[in-house]
Amino acid sequence: MEIKEYIEEKKKSIDSALENLLFPLKEYSALYPALSYSLLSGGKRIRPVIALATYEANKEDSRPIIPFACAIEIVHTYSLIHDDLPIMDDSNMRRGRPTLHRVYGSDMALLAGDALLSLAFEIVSSTSHEKVFTAEKLLAVVREFGKATGIRGLVGGQVMDMVTMNEENVEESMVIYIDSRKTGELMKLAIRTGAILGDAENSELVALSEFAENFGISYQIVDDILDEVATVEVTGKDTGKDRKNRKATFIALYGVDRAREIAKDFVNKSKDYLKPFGEKYKVLMDIAELSLQRMK
Amino acid sequence: MEIKEYIEEKKKSIDSALENLLFPLKEYSALYPALSYSLLSGGKRIRPVIALATYEANKEDSRPIIPFACAIEIVHTYSLIHDDLPIMDDSNMRRGRPTLHRVYGSDMALLAGDALLSLAFEIVSSTSHEKVFTAEKLLAVVREFGKATGIRGLVGGQVMDMVTMNEENVEESMVIYIDSRKTGELMKLAIRTGAILGDAENSELVALSEFAENFGISYQIVDDILDEVATVEVTGKDTGKDRKNRKATFIALYGVDRAREIAKDFVNKSKDYLKPFGEKYKVLMDIAELSLQRMK
């Protein structure tokens, strides 16, 4: 199967699983429309696809891992909602539609984000997985979610993203720090969740984590390039914001052309980590390669 | 030991454990001062004390549960930080000091709250407990944290708290819904964490949960009474806000005098659930009784 078809197929199963996961919450809260607006809005679902692909390289049937893949997309959506708030990046558009706070207000957007983070942990720790995975494995995955989303992960990246805004002379190592946490951590969470639940060898877990971190950095650079050169019609979100907010990016450091090269370098570096395993993780390598086409 | 001394002693051990838990994060993030400002600010620590008391009614040595008790206080602090934001209740004072966003900005306050929620899950799922508690127990506690903080718990209460603001004719059942989720859920989380890890019988778990829910509602009513009748010097936080924001409270429904009676009724109801166990949970009953003294 071609990689684009593979992604499309997995994306569909994630979209439908997300809808099913969300539906039972309808009766519980006035927040449901807001949750549904942000979660069922046609994202690229790259993180859950990566989790599925990693699991499938180790096990035949990927159905048991779908809720976990959804939980990763849920965490990603939470981070976008909070990041878009006026007190953060103040974004107007996301996935081709007005951002959540513009439709439901900043209070509901804040609470929707909060609810989604808790929901991810509820899903991962649900009793429904106990027939397939041991409690030890499930607890290890909870630990991954905690670390990846916390101060040493996602939030740590967001903090430095805000702190370095408007700063002169931000160093390249800081940009890598920000990108690897803001974006690399959830890619790593996706890969590690797939690998841990799929019983991958420890040596593979290390290589997969390296792949994910480098691919994540590349993915963020491509996003930043699109912010600089593309229009809202292409990206579905506000563009030109990094320049306006004077964000610390590779583009601010070296310009767009050099940033394109660096994005390619990170993808090549990421793929190198998976080459020792031959064809086993080819889907992941193809996903990384394909992601570069976004900047064309 | 008198109940006040008991609380004071436990509070000290929680304060020092929180400091130790937070310290390793110092090197990871520019967020540390904000986290430390809100977490190490001398709260009453009532939720962790309840967790410890419940555990101690079942086991001799409460040391293994201290990190879990801290995680509950961490979740509570996260909810206060987000609730105080200008896009929510817009509070200026908390625990006798300016609210976090007034000192570090709304962006850092948002991220501090986010970081604390993830930190709670990191603490609960840490490998350091594996020698004392089974993975099954730890996973059950993760599940409790997910549910208590999520859309069916804390966030669900906050949502209705915002939605019913300024509304005419809010019914008593809605006020109970809000109070039981906004405050009851974390009391219940504290009790249930202590009971599950302390191997309490299932029948006790049910009774303890009922105690916690009713005590939580009473605790919220007393808080609302203080908001109406006390000054910032007494409460350490802005007062008169519920009236200004036209919040759905028992005071708005029936006035202060009747609300005092209702708070007492809920404490009596809560204690009734624990009477079948004789002296075993006396500390919890004493804590509930003592909490009413706040409104005198």
What ipTM is given for this predicted complex?
Answer: 0.98
Contact A76, B53 (CB under 8 A): no
CB contacts, 8 Å: B142 with chain A: 121, 124-125, 139, 142
Q: Does residue A236 lie in a domain region? A: yes
Residue A142: pLDDT band with limits 50, 70, 90: very high
Q: How far is CA A17 from the centre of its chain?
A: 17
Average pLDDT for chain A: 96
**What's the gap in Å between the CA of B175 and the closest CA on chain A?**
15
Structure tokens at B136: 């099954």
Residue for token pair 């809000």? B178
Give A69's pLDDT tier (boundaries 50, 70, 90): very high
Q: What is the pTM of this model?
A: 0.98
Give the per-residue pLDDT at A42: 83
pLDDT digits (tens, 9 = 90+) for A39-60: 998 889 999 999 999 999 999 9
Strands, E assignment, chain B: 93-94, 97-98
Q: What is the pLDDT of residues A101-123, one digit of tens each?
A: 999 999 999 999 999 999 999 99
Residue recorded with tokens 């959804």: A70
Interface touch B106/A87, C-beta < 8 Å:
yes
* Mean pLDDT of the region A135-142: 98
Chain B residue with Cα closest to A34: B159
Contact B155 A30 (CB under 8 A): no
Chain A from 74 to 113: CB within 8 A of any B CB: 82, 85-88, 105-108, 110-111, 113
Using DSSP's 3-state secondary structure scheme, residue B223 falls into: helix
Q: Record the tokens describing residue A186, joined without a space.
A: 């959830």
In this predicted structure, what is the pLDDT of residue A256? 97
Q: Is residue A35 part of a domain?
A: yes
Rounded mean pLDDT, A9-32 = 93
CB contact under 8 A, A142 and B121: yes
Does A118 contact B at CB distance below 8 Å? yes
Asked whether the beta carbons of residue A30 and residue B163 sit closer than 8 angstroms, the reply is yes
Q: CA B251, CA B244: separation in Å to the nearest integer?
A: 13
A245 touches chain B (CB under 8 A): no
- Residue A130: pLDDT band (50, 70, 90) is confident
What is the percentage of chain A residues whose pLDDT exceeds 90? Answer: 95
Task: Inform me whether the pLDDT recorded for A236 exceeds 80.
Answer: yes
pLDDT in tens, A80-102: 999 999 999 999 999 999 999 99
- Inform me whether the C-beta atom of residue B139 falls under 8 Å from chain A C-beta atoms: yes
pLDDT of residue B130: 87
* pLDDT tens digits in sequence order for chain B, 296 residues long: 799 999 999 999 999 999 999 999 998 779 999 999 999 988 899 999 999 999 999 999 999 999 999 999 999 999 999 999 999 999 999 999 999 999 999 999 999 999 999 999 999 999 999 899 999 999 999 999 999 999 999 999 999 999 999 998 899 999 999 999 999 999 999 999 999 999 999 999 999 999 999 999 999 999 999 999 999 999 999 999 999 999 999 999 999 999 999 999 999 999 999 999 999 999 999 999 999 999 87
State whether residue A263 sits within 8 Å of chain B by CB: no
Task: Go through chain A and tell me how many residues it has.
Answer: 296
A35 touches chain B (CB under 8 A): yes
> CA B106 to CA A72: how far, in whole Å?
26
Q: What is the DSSP letter of B145?
A: H
Asked whether residue A296 is domain-assigned, the answer is no
Question: Quick one: closest CA in B to A121, which residue?
Answer: B146
Closest residue of A to B126, CA-based? A143
Other Cβ atoms closer than 10 A to B262: 21
Q: Could you say which residues from 157 to 176 on chain A have a Cβ atom under 8 Å away from some Cβ of chain B?
A: 158-160, 162-163
Q: What is the pLDDT of residue A10?
A: 97
Angle at A117 between CA A115 and CA A123, to 5 degrees: 95
CATH code (residue A55):
1.10.600.10
As for how many domains chain B has, the answer is 1
Residue B41's pLDDT is: 86
Print the domain residue range for A64: 3-291
* Per-residue model confidence (pLDDT) at position B80: 98
